Amino acid sequence: MNEATPLTLAALGGVVSERSGVVNIALEGMMLMSAFTGYVVAFQTHNLWLGVLAGVLTGVLIATLHAALSISLMVDQIVSGFVINILALGITGVFFKGFLQEASVAGPGVLPTWEIPLLSKIPVIGPILFIHQPITFAMLLAIVLIQFLLFYTVWGLRTRAVGEHPLAADTVGINVYLVRYVAVILSGGLAGLGGAYFSLQQIGQFLPNMTGGRGFIALAAMIFGKWKPLGAFYACLLFAGAEALSGRIQITGVHIPFQFLGMLPYLLTIIVVAGAMGRAVAPAADGKPYRKA
Amino acid sequence: MDLVIEWGQVHALLGENGAGKTTLMNVVYGLVRADGGEIVFDGNPAAIHGPTDAIRLGIGMVHQHFMLIPPLTVAENIILGHETVGPLSTVDVAKARQQVSALANRYRLEVDPAARVANLSVGMQQRVEILKTLYRGARLLIMDEPTAVLTPQEAQGLFEILRSLAKEGKAIIFITHKLGEVIDISDRITVMRHGKVVATTTPRESSPADLARLMVGRPVMLQVDKRPARPGKPVMELQQLVVEDDRRHTAVNGIELEVRSGEIVGIAGVEGNGQNELVEALVGLRQPRSGTILLNGRDVTRTSARTFISLGVGHIPADRHRMGIVMELSIADNLVLATYDRRPFASGIVRQLSAVWSYAKKLIKSFDIRAGSPGQPVGSLSGGNQQKVVAARELGRNPKVLIASQPTRGLDVGSIEFIHKQIVTQRDAGLGVLLVSSELDEVLSLADRVAVMYRGQIVGVLEGKDAERERIGLMMAGAA
């Protein structure tokens, strides 16, 4: 569940953004930047919660940049996302060397573990669902919330419509740009929370490139989960399980090179994208800028 | 331009492609901004800055390309933008379905509100579009080329719906370039040419020939002038041909057909009944799953498009932008796209540009392509002239058989006349032609024999003189 937390948050971000028709490969960069700013703010203020907030806001901010580039300026969405990823890697790397490398000895610690009274005493599922650190709880809530928002609310219907056929949405008076901005920014907030996980919940430190490509695995999970929040979560559990497994296997000394297990998420994604498990169909207008006549 | 629409009438807006009909209506619906002038609605000047304003006034538009979202249900499509809202801003699906059903019953436009739009026929999708406008309280309905995708019977059904809507006091603007249906459906007719109104009349005061003359600006031959065919030996024979579409579904299901030299075989049918897959198989672009294609008696079933070309198959594709021409290349290069690598246009690996140039000049002249120079990019030509480039290339290399798919789609009446004449002339010189067109009028006026295609099969072959509209229409719908 812990490994799955940032993956799921980022994958949910991907689902929201792509359902509106904007490809978001910047999830990786958003998480990394958020992990960084979250840590810096928590370090300076000695308040982990302010750190988490800073992480979310960083995601929102970068998402706004991605939205402006890809929706308003119609920069290719992949290019925009790629630029953001490189930028995040560079900025966090430089500042880490400049300020954090020496200072990170006494960090702000990690978020506490919460135990929900009574519910956590339920055998088997109690500990799985009800004993966690805060960001993991937030992730579980986010799955339910996004599933509800996307498939049961007016906002969700409009968002999906815009991702499938923006011109049709426009002709019934829906503001395509607004819908896409909101979706991308929400996506950034989710990824930002996922980023905060690394530095504030997992290890209480910032390390260069600590997200290690999980933004991309999240995208894979999103595809694997057929652009559905719950589906993406299950995929994340699977990928996180593979990751955890590779750790365990090394300890037990079975001779499978750990790189092979590390490949598993990517391998599964290739199989899914190739259509082996029923075709995964992306929203029809995914990745296509909308230009008003 | 000026245009007055009255309540309770079906008002046809007639004009050639590019006459400005759709642009005008997009202005009314707020999708395109007008440079000047004003719109008066119900006696008041109306400021329409976007579709929202138009919808609020009671203007609804059914676009030529449907504005439906295939994965969503009928009800979801209809309420989109004006949702029935429950607690927590949820979509009240039950209420939406109930309202859609009520509306559908009232106007006798039965649809299943819970069905996915992707699973509906084109005729049903059009109903959904009409319901969508009615749901928004439309009193003025704009229908942009609504019959382009319908069978003749479906079109009749649509006309009935439109008439009953008009009887209720709604106003309907019916955009079209088909002369026959204008006379059928409308109370008033406005003819547009080059962005201007050239006449406003009524069906009683006008004939198709008058309207055609007004549309084009000169008298037009509505019927193709041709002598009876004198067919020779078969040039192309299809035996039990089965072809799959991109999703591996059977699109062409066991077709038997032959095209003889000196005749035009027309394939009639509503779009999407396997015509595209058939055409692609007949020019070597798609491998059939089974069956045989014989060219002059030679089996070419599993060869390449190149073989088809070198054995004398010409191809005018339905989508000229995607398959017919390369926009960025010059007219001259486009004219030798199929033959650039052989004499006299190349010797060895070197292109012979002077030969290409003079050949291009010759074709530009004989096909009346309106262009400055052979070096001009094809993309800078008008649609009609682009299509003439395609026709010139394919007919210019003296094919044995021509596969022409929607050869006049989107062209003005003048260009249509020209291309039809070219095809008939070549037929008389011994060319075998397979004409695939969803415009029944085109098939009926050109073809010597008509084969009707429905769900991947030929459901009947009629000799030109037996080919009646009604019967073909029924066959197109799979009813005969």
**Which chain A residue has its CA at the smallest distance from B83's CA?**
A154
Answer whether B69 sits within 8 Å of A152, measured CB to CB.
no
Strand partners, B179: none
Say which amino acid occupies A269: T
Mutation target vs B (from A149, A154, A159, A175; most B CBs, 10 A cutoff): A154
| DSSP-assigned letters across all residues of A257-291 | -HHHHHHHHHHHHHHHHTTTTS-----TTTT----
B170 touches chain A (CB under 8 A): no
Tell me whether residue A202 is in a domain.
yes
Collect all residues of chain B within an 8 Å Cβ-Cβ radius of residue A226.
none
Please give the structure tokens belonging to residue B271. Answer: 């779009």
- Non-local (6+) Cβ contacts of B21 within 8 A are B13, B14, B15, B144, B175, B192
Q: What's CA B394's distance to the chain center, in Å? A: 21
Cα separation of B334 and B344, whole Å? Answer: 16
pLDDT given for residue A273 in this prediction: 66
Fill in the DSSP letter of residue B212: H
- Burial of B199-235, coded b for 16+ CB within 10 Å and e otherwise, reads bebebeebeeebbbbbbbeeebeeebebeebebeebb
Answer whether A293 sits within 8 Å of B71, measured CB to CB.
no
Helix axes A4-19, A214-224, angle to 10 degrees: 60
Most confident of A243-247, A254-258, B22-26: B22-26
Cα separation of A151 and A132, whole Å? Answer: 28
Mutation target vs B (from A157, A164, A167, A291; most B CBs, 10 A cutoff): A157
Q: Of B52, B55, B68, which is closest to A168 when you measure between CB atoms? A: B68
Collect all residues of chain B within an 8 Å Cβ-Cβ radius of residue A164.
69-72
Tell me whether residue A276 is in a domain.
no
Q: Of A153, A157, A167, which is closest to B67 when you measure between CB atoms? A: A167
Cα separation of B5 and A275, whole Å? Answer: 53
Q: Of B26, B70, B80, which is closest to A157 when you measure between CB atoms? A: B80
Please give the structure tokens belonging to residue A256. Answer: 């499978």
Collect all residues of chain B within an 8 Å Cβ-Cβ radius of residue A155.
89
Collect all residues of chain B within an 8 Å Cβ-Cβ radius of residue A173.
50-52, 55, 81
pLDDT given for residue A1 in this prediction: 77
Tell me whether residue A214 is in a domain.
yes
Overall number of domains in chain A: 1
**Which chain A residue has its CA at the smallest distance from B82's CA?**
A172
| A44 C-beta neighbours (distance < 10 Å), count | 12
**Which chain A residue has its CA at the smallest distance from B136's CA?**
A172
B67 touches chain A (CB under 8 A): yes
Q: Of A155, A164, A293, which is closest to B69 when you measure between CB atoms? A: A164
Closest CA to B145 of B188, B185, B117: B185
Answer whether A170 sits within 8 Å of B31, measured CB to CB.
yes
Cα separation of A165 and A161, whole Å? Answer: 6
Cα separation of A224 and B374, whole Å? Answer: 52
Residue pair B190/B174 in contact (Cβ under 8 Å)? The answer is no
Tell me whether residue A200 is in a domain.
yes
pLDDT given for residue A272 in this prediction: 67
Phi first, then psi, for residue A71 (nearest 5°) are -95, -50
Residues of A with CB under 8 A from a CB of B: 152-158, 160-161, 164-165, 167-174, 284, 293
Phi first, then psi, for residue B404 (nearest 5°) are -110, 115
Q: Of A154, A171, A174, which is closest to B63 when you measure between CB atoms? A: A171
Q: Of A167, A172, A293, which is closest to B32 when you measure between CB atoms? A: A293
Closest CA to B413 of B224, B220, B226: B220
Answer whether A154 sits within 8 Å of B32, measured CB to CB.
no
Looking at per-residue pLDDT, the higher value among B120 and A19 belongs to: A19
Residue A51, pLDDT > 70, answer: yes
The tens digit of pLDDT for each residue in B387-440 reads: 899 999 999 999 999 999 989 876 777 788 888 999 999 999 999 999 998 888
Residue pair B448/B432 in contact (Cβ under 8 Å)? The answer is no
In three-state secondary structure terms, B253 is strand
Classify strands B10-15 and B188-193 as parallel, antiparallel or unpaired.
parallel
Residues 297-356 of B with CB under 8 A from A: none
pTM: 0.77
Looking at per-residue pLDDT, the higher value among A267 and B428 belongs to: B428
Answer whether A167 sits within 8 Å of B85, measured CB to CB.
no
Collect all residues of chain A within an 8 Å Cβ-Cβ radius of residue B26.
293
Q: Of A155, A157, A284, which is closest to B76 when you measure between CB atoms? A: A157
pLDDT (mean) for B130-154: 86
**Which chain B residue has its CA at the smallest distance from A171's CA?**
B51
Tell me whether residue A119 is in a domain.
no
Instruction: Please report, to the nearest 10 degrees, the dihedral formed by the alpha carbons of residues A228, A229, A235, A236 taken in order.
Output: 150
Fill in the DSSP letter of residue A119: G
Burial class (CB in 10 A: 0-12, 13-18, 19+), A185: buried
Cα separation of B344 and B339, whole Å? Answer: 9
The tens digit of pLDDT for each residue in B197-249 reads: 888 888 888 888 888 888 877 776 666 778 888 899 999 999 999 999 887 88
Tell me whether residue A231 is in a domain.
no
B34 touches chain A (CB under 8 A): no
Closest CA to B316 of B428, B437, B464: B437
- Domain extent for A184: 4-111+131-220
Residue A276, pLDDT > 60, answer: no
Say which amino acid occupies A13: G
The tens digit of pLDDT for each residue in B43-94 reads: 888 888 888 888 888 999 998 788 999 999 999 999 998 888 888 888 888 9
Answer whether A154 sits within 8 Å of B70, measured CB to CB.
no
Collect all residues of chain A within an 8 Å Cβ-Cβ radius of residue B50.
173
pLDDT (mean) for B128-144: 91
CA quadruple B407, B412, B413, B415: dihedral positive or negative? Answer: negative
Say which amino acid occupies B183: I
pLDDT (mean) for A104-115: 76
List, in order of start, the domains of chain B with CATH numbers.
Answer: 10-216 (3.40.50.300), 234-312+399-476 (3.40.50.300), 325-385 (no CATH)
Tell me the pLDDT band of A165, cut-offs 50, 70 and 90.
very high
Residue pair A172/B129 in contact (Cβ under 8 Å)? The answer is no
pLDDT given for residue A103 in this prediction: 61
Fill in the DSSP letter of residue A165: -
| DSSP-assigned letters across all residues of B388-406 | HHHHHHHHHT--SEEEEES
Tell me whether residue A240 is in a domain.
no
Q: Which residue has the tokens 């249900």?
A: B73
The size of the A-B interface in CB pairs under 8 A is: 70
Cα separation of A221 and A215, whole Å? Answer: 10
Collect all residues of chain A within an 8 Å Cβ-Cβ radius of residue B71.
160, 164
B33 touches chain A (CB under 8 A): no
The tens digit of pLDDT for each residue in B24-37 reads: 888 888 888 888 88
pLDDT (mean) for A121-140: 84
Cα separation of B59 and B469, whole Å? Answer: 35
Mutation target vs A (from B91, B92, B133, B246; most A CBs, 10 A cutoff): B91
Collect all residues of chain A within an 8 Å Cβ-Cβ radius of residue B82.
172
Answer whether B67 sits within 8 Å of A173, measured CB to CB.
no
Q: What's CA B316's distance to the chain center, in Å? A: 14
Residue A147, pLDDT > 90, answer: yes
Collect all residues of chain B within an 8 Å Cβ-Cβ radius of residue A170.
31, 51
Tell me the pLDDT band of B289, cut-offs 50, 70 and 90.
very high
Mutation target vs B (from A172, A174, A292; most B CBs, 10 A cutoff): A172
Strand partners, B197: B192
Q: Of B61, B66, B72, which is closest to A161 when you measure between CB atoms? A: B72
Collect all residues of chain B within an 8 Å Cβ-Cβ radius of residue A172.
51, 55, 67, 80-82, 132, 136
Looking at per-residue pLDDT, the higher value among B295 and B463 belongs to: B295
Tell me the pLDDT band of B16, cut-offs 50, 70 and 90.
confident
pLDDT given for residue B480 in this prediction: 61
Mean of pLDDT over chain A: 87
